């Protein structure tokens, strides 16, 4: 049987209340007593019972981390990295993270994850795009919620977002600095705010540098942002208009797909066409050439989201904040150098 607070109290010759106070490092305990109690704790290898604490307090000590299963199973470990950041941070505080997925096609009648349904969590972190109906249903629960890399259309929430606008701007300016004037953009799932912002950044850069914005150099009709979509997007763009000398792809997966297409066309990268991606999902050293991209601080995003959650929980304040995480250009060999 694992030791209880009583065992500690007995061993240290104090009351259980005192032990409890020491555990919480309370002011009004003498140093001597603290020392005694801590010694007993160590000797018994005592750890407070989680359930017992939770029962008396009213919090559960759990935070749900929710995402759709296809996001979790994506080829690239994007949300995995974010989760890890959250998990690391939660270890410091006294929280457990409950990772749960919902079907991508979550509907009105699908069951919410059990821990949420039973209110066995103090808060909810939602990563990536989720169906509106999920948000609606969660909203009714009045559970403190933090979004990562996604922001609902309606409602006020705290969120950790990527500075996609600035990222799109930077990425495009990098190409411009390399001397490119006819730059293409490929994107998918263009309704997604993140993708849309990257595109806006692209347009801003074009405008800022007095280049011509040519809609024929843009292809945003792909539904998803997979490698396959990238391949097809590049293909269609190539059919429309093939004076393009550089491509900004809305993410690395599409960039890789596009790369594949151009190689099949016997075009050299970056000699014939430069490609820049977004996310830095995979520093695959075998990739040929290594992809220039915008690095998104995945671990940090998870960390930030958890801290935000703790703030909300502690202060019980309802001032919604949005954090924009900075992105950083990682110049590899798929752009420029070839001039």
Partner DNA sequence: TTGAAAGCGCTAACAC
Partner DNA sequence: GTGTTAGCGCTTTCAA
Among 10, 38, 44, 53, binds DNA (CB under 7 A): 53
Kindly report the CA angle at 286 between 283 and 291, in degrees rounded to 5?
50
Q: Considering CB distances under 5 to 8 angstroms, the limit depending on partner class, which of a copy of itself, DNA, none binds residue 78?
A: none
* Beta carbons of 147 and 155 less than 8 angstroms apart: no
- Among the listed ranges 53-61, 192-200, 236-244, 298-306, the one in contact with DNA (CB under 7 A) is 53-61
Give the nearest distance from C-beta 79 to a copy of itself in angstroms. Answer: 10
Q: Could you tell me the smallest distance in angstroms from the CB atom of residue 141 to DNA?
A: 17
Say how far apart CA 4 and CA 20 lie, in whole Å: 11
Is residue 163 within 8 A of residue 327, CB to CB? The reply is yes
Taking a C-beta distance cutoff of 8 angstroms, is the pair 238, 266 a contact? no
Query: Closest CB to a copy of itself among 157 and 231?
Result: 231
- Interacting partner of 215 out of a copy of itself, DNA, none (Cβ under 5 to 8 A depending on kind): none
Q: Cα(248)–Cα(261) distance, rounded to whole angstroms?
A: 15
Q: Does 1 help bind DNA (rule: CB under 7 A)?
A: yes
Site map (CB under 7 A) of DNA, residues 18-47, x = contact:
xxxx-xx--xxxx-xx------------x-
Q: Residues interacting with a copy of itself, by CB under 8 A?
A: 2, 47-55, 60, 62, 69, 72-77, 80-81, 83-84, 87, 91, 96-101, 113-115, 117-120, 227-228, 230-231, 256-257, 260, 264, 282, 284-286, 288
What whole-number distance in Å separates Cα of residue 15 and Cα of residue 19? Answer: 7
Total binding residues toward DNA, as defined by CB under 7 A: 29
290 contacts: CB under 8 Å, gap ≥ 6: 283, 284, 332, 333, 334
Helix and strand totals (H; E) in the chain: 13, 12
3-class DSSP state of 249 = strand
Q: Closer to DNA at the Cβ: 40 or 148?
A: 40
Which stretch in 4-12, 62-70, 144-152, 326-334 sits in contact with DNA by CB under 7 A? 4-12
Helix (H) or strand (E) holding 63: strand 62-68
Residue 115 binds what, of DNA, a copy of itself, none (CB under 5 to 8 Å, by partner type)?
a copy of itself
Count other C-beta atoms under 10 Å from residue 155's C-beta.
12
Main-chain dihedrals φ then ψ at residue 185, nearest 5 degrees? -125, 130
Is 215 near DNA (CB under 7 A)?
no
Give the Cα-Cα-Cα angle 268, 271, 274 (nearest 5 degrees): 90
Binding mask 165-204 for DNA (x = CB under 7 A): ----------------------------------------
Residue number, 215 or 286, with CB nearest to a copy of itself: 286
- C-alpha 181/C-alpha 108 separation (Å) is 48
CB 262 within 8 A of CB 186: no
The correct pick among 25, 55, 105, 156 for binding DNA (CB under 7 A) is: 55
Does residue 15 bind DNA (CB under 7 A)? Answer: yes
Query: Is residue 62 within the footprint of DNA (CB under 7 A)?
Result: no
Pairing mode of beta strands 293-295, 328-330: antiparallel
Residues found near DNA in the complex (CB under 7 A): 1, 4-6, 13-21, 23-24, 27-30, 32-33, 46, 48-49, 52-53, 55-57
């Amino acid at each position: 049987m694992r030791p209880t607070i009583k065992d500690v109290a007995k061993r240290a010759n104090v009351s259980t209340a005192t032990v409890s106070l020491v555990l919480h490092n309370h002011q009004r305990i003498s140093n001597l007593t603290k020392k005694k109690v801590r010694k007993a704790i160590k000797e018994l290898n005592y750890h407070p019972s989680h359930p017992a604490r939770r029962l008396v307090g009213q919090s559960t000590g759990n935070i749900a981390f929710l995402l759709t299963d296809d996001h979790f199973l994506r080829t690239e470990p994007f949300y995995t990295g974010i989760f890890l950041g959250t998990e690391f941070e939660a270890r410091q505080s006294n929280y457990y993270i409950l990772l749960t997925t919902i079907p991508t096609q979550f509907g009105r009648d699908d069951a919410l994850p059990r821990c949420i349904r039973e209110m066995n969590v103090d808060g909810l972190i939602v990563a990536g795009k989720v169906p509106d109906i999920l948000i609606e249903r969660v909203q009714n629960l009045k559970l403190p919620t933090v979004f990562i890399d996604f922001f609902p259309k309606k409602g006020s929430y705290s969120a950790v977002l990527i500075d996609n606008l600035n990222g799109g701007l930077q990425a495009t300016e990098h190409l411009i600095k390399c001397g490119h004037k006819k730059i293409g953009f490929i994107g998918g799932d263009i309704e997604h705010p993140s993708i849309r912002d990257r595109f806006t950044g692209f347009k801003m850069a074009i405008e800022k540098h007095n280049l011509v914005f040519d809609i024929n150099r843009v292809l945003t009709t792909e539904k998803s942002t997979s490698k396959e979509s990238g391949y097809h997007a590049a293909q269609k763009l190539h059919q429309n208009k093939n004076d393009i000398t550089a491509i900004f792809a809305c993410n690395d997966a599409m960039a890789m797909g596009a790369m594949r297409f151009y190689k099949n066309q016997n075009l050299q990268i970056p000699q014939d066409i430069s490609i820049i991606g977004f996310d830095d999902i995979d520093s695959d050293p075998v990739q040929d050439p290594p992809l220039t991209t915008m690095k998104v601080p995945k671990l940090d995003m998870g960390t930030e989201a958890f801290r935000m959650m703790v703030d909300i929980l502690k202060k019980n304040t309802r001032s919604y904040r949005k954090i924009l995480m900075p992105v950083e250009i990682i110049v590899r060999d798929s752009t420029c150098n070839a001039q």
